[in-house]
Amino acid sequence: MAEISPTGPDIASLRVAMERLGAGNFDDAWLSRFTNELNMLVAMGRKLDELDLSGDEPSHIYIIPGSNV
């Protein structure tokens, strides 16, 4: 798996990745929005990495959006 930089994905890296995947060329505005979305997903993933779920079985973990439980 490729490493993600500490600062998250950037437009230049995404442009290269999309070209290598054969997805074509995207304009800077689209890549900027996509970069922002990916950075938010990376940030959420890092928060999940910080959770101590060592005592929980994966089948017992539920995430209910908007709940305080």
35: closest CA among 7, 59, 2?
A: 7
Encode pLDDT of 55-65 as tens digits.
766 656 666 67
Which phi and psi (to 5°) does residue 42 adopt?
Answer: -65, -45
CA atoms within 13 A on the CB side of 37: 7
Decide: 18 and 26 in contact? Cβ < 8 Å.
yes
Degrees, nearest 5: CA angle 16-43-49: 115
pLDDT digits (tens, 9 = 90+) for 27-62: 889 889 988 998 888 888 888 777 766 776 665 666
